[in-house]
Structure 1
Amino acid sequence: MLSARSLFQEIIDNDDSYQLFCSIAASGEAQGGWENARIAALVPPELQELAPRITRHGADEDKHGRIFNALLKKRGLEPVPVPPEADYTMLLEGRGIGLAHEKLGRDEPLSEEDIVVYLSHSRVTEQRAAEQMDMLLTFFEDHPEVGKAVKMISNDETNHLAYCHEELLRLAAAGHGRTIHRVLRQSALAEIAIYRDVSLAVMAHMGRLLGWPRSKSAVLAAGIHGMYAYERLGGWRRMVSLAMPERRGALDGPATTAPAI
């Protein structure tokens, strides 16, 4: 029977598909680490209290990238290039979601609105990340090879999502509510389409590596399109709601160290 658990187990069990999976994950986390580090360095004076938390966010993302690379090394594998059609972060930037790398590469302070845009975009993408890691935690919490990594990354992504909720609520109370609402909606609608396209691309690559029959690939593609239809009809709204999280101050303090893999 085809299930999410069996699908991920198949990917993990095969060196070629595992190599691509970890390479895509490591690349995305490294990009996120760089982006957050640059944003932290360019925070405007009026929002300087956010800089340590943004720095912590970036340190967590860098740590996740190192974890995925360590998982590859443990199996004697090297990272492989990420297919452009599977590069979630760069495809989001190409759609104008978040802060452009060109802006982050300049040594000019960001505006207060830039920080609002960054946090709104992060609230959407961290929702996706938290959900994905929660699913992997359900399947592989006790897995001898990836269990420790999945636990740590899942906990971090929950912290990141909590931080976005808390800071956006504070900024909304300070008068940025309309901008936050607009950017959240734009980001969510763009993200669900990009997530669909990236999922289709990744599954196509996995299918070739694993030799899936055409019928299996067709069923998986139909499932991805079905998820997009659900999200387009209203599922995207879970990505734009704001509520005070149970974890307050989730990114206060230094980043935790990576587990021994």
Structure 2
Amino acid sequence: MLSAKSLFQEILDDDESFRLFCSIAASGESQGGWENGRIAALVPESQRELAPRIVRHGADEDKHGRIFNALLKKRGLRPAEVPGETDYTMLLESNGIGLAHGRLKREEPLSERDIITYLAHSRVTEQRASEQMRLLCRYFADHPDIGRAVRMISNDEDNHLAYCHEELLRFARAGHGRTIQRTLRECALAEIRVYRDVSLAVMAHMGEVLRWPRAKAAVLAAGIHAMYAYERLVGWRRMVSLAPPERRDALGGPAVAEAEYA
């Protein structure tokens, strides 16, 4: 029977598919770490109190990248080259979502509007990350090789999502509500499209590595298209809602060292 658990297990059991999975994940996390580091350095004076939280966010992302690379090393594997069509972070940027790398490379302070754009982009993408890691936790939290890493990353992603809710609500109270909602909607609709395309690309590469029969590949592709149709119709709304998080000041302390997962 084809299920999310059986699919992940198949990818986990094969060295080459595991290598590709961890390499894609590590690349995305490392890019996120760099982006947050640059945003923290360019925060406008009016929002300087946010800088330590953005630094913590970036440190967590860097940590996740190192964790995925450590999982590869543990199995004696080297990182694989990440196909461009599977690069979720860069594809979002090419669709005009978030702050462009060209902007972040300049030594020019960001505006409050830029910070709202960053937080809205993060709120949407952290929703996706939190859901994906919770799914992995459901099936592999007790796995002897990846269980501890999955639990740590999942906890961090929940913290990141809580932080985005809290800060966006703060901006909303300051009178930016309409801008936030418009930006969130634009980000969500673009993200679900990019996520569909990246998912199709990743599954195509996994299918080649694992030599899936055409029928299996077709079923998986159909499932991805069906999920996109649902998200395009109503599912995107979960990415734009804002509510006070149960975890308050979730990024108020130092990042937890990745060595703790091993």
- Hey, what does 1:11 align to over in structure 2? 11
Identity score, percent: 75
Report the CA distance between 1:178 and its aligned residue. 1.1
- Amino acid in the other structure paired with 2:45: P
**Residue in 2 aligned with 1:152?**
152
Q: Match of 1:118?
A: 118
Structure 2 counterpart of 1:227, one-letter code = M
Match of 1:76 in 2: 76
The residue type equivalent to 2:63 in the other structure is: K
Q: CA contact under 8 A between 2:29 and 2:61: conserved in structure 1?
A: yes
Gaps of 5+ in 2: none
Distance 1:241 1:90 in 2: 25
Alignment of 1:1-261 (within 5 A): 1-258=1-258, 259-261=260-262
- Tell me how far apart the structure 1 counterparts of residues 195 and 111 of structure 2 sit (CA, whole Å): 28
SS at match of 2:248: coil
Whole-angstrom CA distance in 2 between matches of 1:65 and 1:30: 5
Aligned partner letter, 2:121: H
| Partners of 2:69 and 2:79 within 8 A in 1 | yes
Residues 80-120 of structure 1, C-alpha deviation per residue, up to 9 Å, x if partnerless? 11100000000000000000000000011000100000000
1:59 is displaced (CA, Å) by: 0.1
Alpha-carbon distance, 1:249 to partner: 0.2
Distance 2:105 2:178 in 1: 28
Could you list the per-position Cα deviations for residues 155-213 of structure 1 after superposition, in whole angstroms to 9, with x for gaps in the alignment? 00000000000000000000111110110000000000000000000000000000100
| Misfit runs of 4+, over 4 Å | none
Aligned-partner residue type, residue 75 of structure 2: R
Measure the CA separation in 2 of the matches of 1:82 and 1:190. Answer: 22
Contact 2:188/2:240 (CA < 8 Å) preserved in 1? yes
Per-residue Cα deviation, 1:142-161 (whole angstroms, up to 9, x for no partner): 00000010000000000000
- Structure 1 gap segments, 5+ residues each: none
In 2, Cα distance between equivalents of 1:98 and 1:221? 27
Q: Is the 8 A contact 2:152 2:261 kept in 1?
A: no
TM-score, with normalisation over the residues of structure 2?
0.99
Q: What SS class does the counterpart of residue 243 from structure 2 fall into?
A: coil
| Alignment partners' CA distance in 2, 1:13 and 1:236 | 33
Instruction: State the Cα distance separating 1:260 from its structure 2 match.
Output: 4.4
- For 2:126, what is the secondary structure of its paired residue? helix
CA root-mean-square deviation: 0.5
What is the CA distance between 1:228 and its match in structure 2? 0.2
Q: Distance in 2 between matches of 1:71 and 1:110?
A: 36
d(CA) in 1 for partners of 2:177 and 2:97? 18
Q: Give the Cα–Cα distance (whole angstroms) in 1 for the partners of residues 79 and 24 of structure 2.
A: 9
Length, aligned pairs only: 261
Amino acid at match of 1:161: L
